[in-house]
């Protein structure tokens, strides 16, 4: 498996792409990714799972989740639209990080099926965003950004609607989502998990089980991954020193940041920046 550094200095990217291979080594990255299948014959490998997708099916590829986009028939490339963005893309929106919760609830399906109104809205908006870049009229970048936000709202709506029954039956799932939103808003600070747990109204022992069920991670792993995402984006998009980034992202020291970063990326932050 490859770890990929994606150039997201503007915070997001949208492109039309072709899937060429019927099989391929998986890759992963810290960016959030949305993939919209445009043709028949798309195939997604996500972790252990494999999905056959029809036109309009949408997949959320979660940060650090191994995946690859494939075509079903050799010599028959399939078209898809790729949206990539850093979590910092929504940082200027009040409570914007709550838009990203679907990307962190790994116990939900990554698929938004083509027959959902929200999948249809996302596809329409993505095509409009590509068209904006082609025409490049005044303000096209701002238009793309607003279209990206609208797509995120639609994806969040899908997950909220889709999991509504489950959320109503299972009040602790609601508490975990609140905890995720809290961590996504406060990742840069010292986080007192006891306060987070208290606010979730879930019993402490049950909270940890439940948190892992929803996110696949312990709260601590979750926070470290978030910090790595922001740090990775800062390494690419700013000239800040490694120490600065370590402290801004809540790692406490450059040496601890270096250690954790290397564990994930098999590269020091300095080398990651140079690539």
Chain residues that interact with a copy of itself, rule: CB under 8 A: 92-93, 99, 137-139, 142-143, 146-147, 149-150, 153, 156-157, 160
Nearest residue (CB) to a copy of itself, 149 versus 188? 149
Nearest residue (CB) to a copy of itself, 71 versus 163? 163
**In sequence order, what are the residues at sequence separation of 6 or more whose Cβ sits closer than 8 angstroms to the Cβ of residue 176?**
200, 202, 207, 210, 211, 213, 214, 215
Minimum gap (Å) between residue 110 Cβ and a copy of itself: 20
Minimum gap (Å) between residue 209 Cβ and a copy of itself: 27
Q: For residues 123 and 58, is the Cβ–Cβ distance under 8 A?
A: yes
Q: Concatenated DSSP letters for 198-234? A: HHHT--HHHHHHHHHHHHSS-HHHHHHHHHHHHHHHH
Nearest residue (CB) to a copy of itself, 164 versus 204? 164
Nearest residue (CB) to a copy of itself, 91 versus 241? 91
Give exposure, 173-211, as e/b (b: 16+ Cβ within 10 Å): bbbbbbbbbbbbebbeeebebeebbeebebeeeebeebb
Minimum gap (Å) between residue 100 Cβ and a copy of itself: 12
Nearest residue (CB) to a copy of itself, 127 versus 149? 149
Give exposure, 247-257, as e/b (b: 16+ Cβ within 10 Å): bebbbeebeeb
Minimum gap (Å) between residue 125 Cβ and a copy of itself: 10
Length of the chain counted residue by residue = 275
Nearest residue (CB) to a copy of itself, 95 versus 266? 95
Minimum gap (Å) between residue 180 Cβ and a copy of itself: 15
Minimum gap (Å) between residue 242 Cβ and a copy of itself: 27
Nearest residue (CB) to a copy of itself, 108 versus 156? 156
Burial class (CB in 10 A: 0-12, 13-18, 19+), 124: middle
**In sequence order, what are the residues at sequence separation of 6 or more whose Cβ sits closer than 8 angstroms to the Cβ of residue 95?**
181, 185
Minimum gap (Å) between residue 92 Cβ and a copy of itself: 6
Residues 93, 98, 104, 110, CA torsion sign: negative
Cα–Cα dist 210/200, whole Å: 11
């Amino acid at each position: 498996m490859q770890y990929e550094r994606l150039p997201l200095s503007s915070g997001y990217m949208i492109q039309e792409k072709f899937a060429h291979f019927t099989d391929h080594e998986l890759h992963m990255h810290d960016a959030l990714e949305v993939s919209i299948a445009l043709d028949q014959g798309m195939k997604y490998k996500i972790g252990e799972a494999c999905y056959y997708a029809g036109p309009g099916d949408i997949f959320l590829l979660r940060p650090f989740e191994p995946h690859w986009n494939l075509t079903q028939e050799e010599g028959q490339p399939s078209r898809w639209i790729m949206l990539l963005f850093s979590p910092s893309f929504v940082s200027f929106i009040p409570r914007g990080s709550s838009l990203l919760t679907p990307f962190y609830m790994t116990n939900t399906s990554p698929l938004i099926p083509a027959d959902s109104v929200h999948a249809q809205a996302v596809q329409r908006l993505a095509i409009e965003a590509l068209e904006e870049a082609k025409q490049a009229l005044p303000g096209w970048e701002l238009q793309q950004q607003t279209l990206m936000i609208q797509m995120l709202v639609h994806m969040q709506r899908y997950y909220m609607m889709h999991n509504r029954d489950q959320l109503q039956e299972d009040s602790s799932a609601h508490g975990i989502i609140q905890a995720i939103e809290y961590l996504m808003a406060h990742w840069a600070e010292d986080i007192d998990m006891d306060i987070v747990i208290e606010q979730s109204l879930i019993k402490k022992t049950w909270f940890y089980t439940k948190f892992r069920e929803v996110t696949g991670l312990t709260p601590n792993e979750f926070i470290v991954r978030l910090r790595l995402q922001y740090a990775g984006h800062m390494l690419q998009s700013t000239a800040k020193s490694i120490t600065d980034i370590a402290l801004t992202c809540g790692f406490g020291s450059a040496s601890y940041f270096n250690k954790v970063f290397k564990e994930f990326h098999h590269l020091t932050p300095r080398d990651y920046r140079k690539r």
